[in-house]
């Protein structure tokens, strides 16, 4: 089929490449000329495992191309996907300006007699589909189209496998014609398709992300009780997670949830519920627990080091999770900034996130960036693990211990085994685990 994706970021570009991989002809549109120029020059603007080869293979096979022109994309395609940002406003509600603008752009690109399925892949508040349809109709009363909600559930860092083998595909539409088109788009993926009305599909995305955030805050609240009582949160999570009704995933105690999705989606869901007159106070508690996790972690550093001012602290990890270069709303970045604000001398290392952290000015220029994890740890009075990259597990920790000035390790992701760390001579502090004596 001929498909167009408007917005070629983390969602749009990976979706476009995966659609091309299964045989569709895809045109990816972005209004950022620099991004499109990079893509046309064969450079991938984001890091996502497997994406580079996927894009090159499908561009080579002439199934994937890039443009800045929405008109060109709409002309060439039966289905037009929207994958533009839906950032939060200061009050937590969703900024809909990108979606509304794309709706107007699509509207003016639609020609009489050309039926198009307009698919919203961005995460949007319930009732957005109706507004998108009304906007297109207002500016182009003759347009023939259906609006479908098709929320995206990919996880950065494993977006390609998530898209190629999704748990489920949600298609929200009450049009039989659009349902048929969407079934054909997704047929090659051989995944279960849940067809719902538009509103339910939109709500599924916010409800799903809020539930996952709730799971994280739940185990983080449990981790505080573990610390106070002498239990080990990892064992508690294993014991809870072996119950198939609960599952072990998203029961990892740590610094909390960050990134470009969970914090904004929880906030959005709270705002949506408030606006509908049905306050979702449980989610406010989820946010409160998440916000206190970093405070509790920093207290551990202060309890051990007493004063952070002038302390040399190594931070491993800047991205919000491993296997991505995405540093948006990263708790690792928050952590670095809070350490600097307390006067610590921070040296950081991240396998993929340093470039964007500097480019987007997310960390102060006083933060030194190291070329290797070992270089970051050299001379440090404490090492803080902020993102659970595999590279950190594979470090020669004995060499790290020798290189450090004082061997204190604060593991914000419970990546290391406390017994092994103790054996190596580290003073090790995890989350929800007993401090090494
Ligand atoms: P992004 O910022 O990486 O990409 C969005 C792209 O849209 C940018 O390249 C931007 O230049 C482009 N754009 C903006 N306005 C445009 C316009 N009028 N015409 C053409 N291009 C335009 O964002 P993202 O992370 O891909 O997220 C997109 C949406 O998907 C959001 O609603 C997000 O909540 C949702 N989502 C994101 C993820 C994720 O992990 N990143 C997962 C699921 C859903």
CA distances from residue 30 to 67, 84, 91, 118 in whole angstroms, order as listed: 7, 9, 28, 16
Does the Cβ of 347 fall within 6 Å of ligand 1? no
- 437 is a domain residue: no
Q: Which of 154, 169, 196 is the last residue of a domain?
A: 196
Q: Which pLDDT score, from 0 to 100, does residue 227 have?
A: 95
Does the Cβ of 12 fall within 6 Å of ligand 1? yes
Nearest CA, atom 38, ligand 1: 11
β-sheet bridge partners, residue 193: 169
Nearest-angstrom CA–CA distance, 283 and 154: 22
Q: Which residues contact 437 (CB under 8 A, 6 or more apart)?
A: none
158 catalytic residue (yes or no): no
- Asked if residue 178 and residue 292 are part of one domain, the reply reads no
Q: Which pLDDT score, from 0 to 100, does residue 285 have?
A: 98
Instruction: Tell how strand 25-29 and strand 408-411 pair up.
Output: unpaired
Does the Cβ of 31 fall within 6 Å of ligand 1? yes
Question: How far, rounded to the nearest angstrom, does the alpha carbon of residue 180 sit from its chain's CA centroid?
Answer: 30
- Asked if residue 117 and residue 173 are part of one domain, the reply reads yes
- Asked if residue 182 and residue 282 are part of one domain, the reply reads no
Q: Which pLDDT score, from 0 to 100, does residue 436 have?
A: 56
Q: Which pLDDT score, from 0 to 100, does residue 195 have?
A: 98
- 100 is a domain residue: yes
Task: Compute, in angstroms, the gap from residue 6 CA to the centroid of ligand 1.
Answer: 9
- Asked if residue 269 and residue 418 are part of one domain, the reply reads yes
Task: Compute, in angstroms, the gap from residue 339 CA to the centroid of ligand 1.
Answer: 31
Does the Cβ of 80 fall within 6 Å of ligand 1? no
- 203 is a domain residue: no
Candidate from 12, 163, 168 with most ligand 1 atoms within 8 A of CB, to mutate? 12
- Asked if residue 391 and residue 349 are part of one domain, the reply reads yes
Q: Which is the closest atom of ligand 1 to the Cα of 261?
A: 34
Task: Compute, in angstroms, the gap from residue 101 CA to the centroid of ligand 1.
Answer: 13
Number of domains present in the structure of the chain: 2
Q: Which is the closest atom of ligand 1 to the Cα of 260?
A: 41
Q: Which of 165, 196, 227 is the last residue of a domain?
A: 196
Q: Which domain holds residue 320?
A: 210-429
- 74 is a domain residue: yes
Nearest-angstrom CA–CA distance, 322 and 317: 8
- 325 is a domain residue: yes
Q: Which of 170, 196, 222 is the last residue of a domain?
A: 196
Low-confidence ranges of the chain (pLDDT < 50): 437
- Asked if residue 37 and residue 7 are part of one domain, the reply reads yes
For 140-164, the pLDDT digits (tens) are 999 999 999 999 999 999 999 999 9
- Asked if residue 376 and residue 268 are part of one domain, the reply reads yes
- 434 is a domain residue: no
- 60 is a domain residue: yes
- Asked if residue 128 and residue 23 are part of one domain, the reply reads yes
Q: Which residues contact 151 (CB under 8 A, 6 or more apart)?
A: 121, 123, 170, 172, 201, 202, 204, 205
Q: Say if residues 332 and 386 touch (Cβ distance below 8 Å).
A: yes
Please name which of 263, 277, 18, 265 lies closest in space to residue 165, comparing C-alpha atoms.
18
- 205 is a domain residue: no
Does the Cβ of 45 fall within 6 Å of ligand 1? no
pTM, rounded to two decimals: 0.94
3-class state of residue 169 by DSSP: strand
For 413-426, the pLDDT digits (tens) are 999 999 999 999 99
Q: Which pLDDT score, from 0 to 100, does residue 435 have?
A: 67
For 236, list phi and psi in degrees, rounded to 5.
-65, -45
- Asked if residue 170 and residue 53 are part of one domain, the reply reads yes
Does the Cβ of 350 fall within 6 Å of ligand 1? no
- Asked if residue 283 and residue 176 are part of one domain, the reply reads no
Does the Cβ of 418 fall within 6 Å of ligand 1? no
Q: List the CATH number of the domain containing 296.
A: 3.40.50.720
Task: Compute, in angstroms, the gap from residue 398 CA to the centroid of ligand 1.
Answer: 42
- Asked if residue 217 and residue 192 are part of one domain, the reply reads no
Q: Which pLDDT score, from 0 to 100, does residue 393 have?
A: 94
Helices (H), 165-280: 176-186, 198-229, 233-241, 262-275
- Asked if residue 313 and residue 172 are part of one domain, the reply reads no
Task: Compute, in angstroms, the gap from residue 204 CA to the centroid of ligand 1.
Answer: 19
Number of CB atoms found within 10 A of residue 299's CB? 11
Number of CB atoms found within 10 A of residue 91's CB? 8
């Amino acid at each position: 089929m001929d498909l167009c994706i408007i917005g070629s970021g983390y969602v749009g570009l990976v979706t476009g490449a995966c659609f091309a991989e299964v045989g569709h002809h895809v045109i990816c549109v972005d209004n950022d000329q620099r991004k499109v120029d990079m893509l046309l020059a064969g450079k991938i603007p984001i890091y996502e495992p497997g994406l580079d080869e996927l894009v090159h293979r499908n561009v080579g096979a002439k199934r994937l191309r890039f443009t800045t022109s929405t008109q060109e994309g709409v002309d060439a395609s039966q289905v037009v996907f929207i994958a533009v940002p839906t950032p939060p406003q200061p009050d937590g509600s969703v900024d809909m300006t990108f979606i509304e603008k794309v709706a107007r752009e699509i509207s003016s690109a639609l020609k009489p007699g050309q039926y198009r399925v307009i698919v919203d892949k961005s995460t949007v508040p319930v009732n957005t589909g109706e507004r998108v349809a009304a906007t297109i109709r207002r500016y182009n009363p003759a347009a023939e189209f259906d609006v479908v909600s098709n929320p995206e559930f990919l996880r950065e860092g494993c977006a390609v496998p998530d898209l190629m083998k999704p748990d489920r595909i949600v298609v929200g539409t009450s049009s039989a014609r659009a349902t048929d088109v969407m079934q054909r788009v997704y047929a090659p993926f051989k995944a279960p398709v849940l067809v719902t009305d538009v509103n339910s599909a939109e709500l599924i995305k916010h409800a799903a992300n809020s539930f996952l955030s709730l799971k994280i805050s739940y185990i983080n609240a449990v981790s505080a009780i573990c610390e106070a009582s002498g239990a080990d949160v990892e064992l508690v999570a294993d014991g809870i997670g072996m119950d198939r009704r609960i599952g072990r995933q998203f029961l990892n105690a740590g610094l909390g949830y960050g990134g470009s999705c969970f914090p904004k989606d929880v906030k959005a869901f709270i705002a949506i519920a408030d606006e509908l007159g049905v306050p979702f106070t449980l989610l406010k508690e989820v946010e409160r627990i998440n916000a206190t996790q970093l405070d509790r972690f920093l207290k551990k550093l202060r309890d051990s080091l007493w004063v952070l001012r002038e302390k040399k602290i190594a931070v491993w990890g800047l991205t919000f999770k491993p296997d991505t270069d995405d540093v948006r709303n990263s708790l690792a970045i928050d952590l670095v900034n809070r350490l600097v604000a307390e006067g610590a001398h921070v040296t950081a290392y991240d396998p993929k996130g340093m470039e964007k952290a500097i480019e987007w000015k997310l960390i102060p220029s006083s933060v030194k960036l190291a070329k290797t994890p070992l270089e970051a740890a050299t001379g440090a009075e404490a090492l803080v693990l902020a993102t659970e990259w595999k590279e950190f597990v594979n470090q020669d920790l004995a060499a790290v211990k020798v290189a450090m000035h004082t061997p204190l390790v604060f593991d914000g992701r419970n990546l290391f085994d406390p017994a092994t760390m103790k054996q190596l001579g580290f003073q090790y502090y995890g989350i929800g685990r007993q401090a090494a004596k």
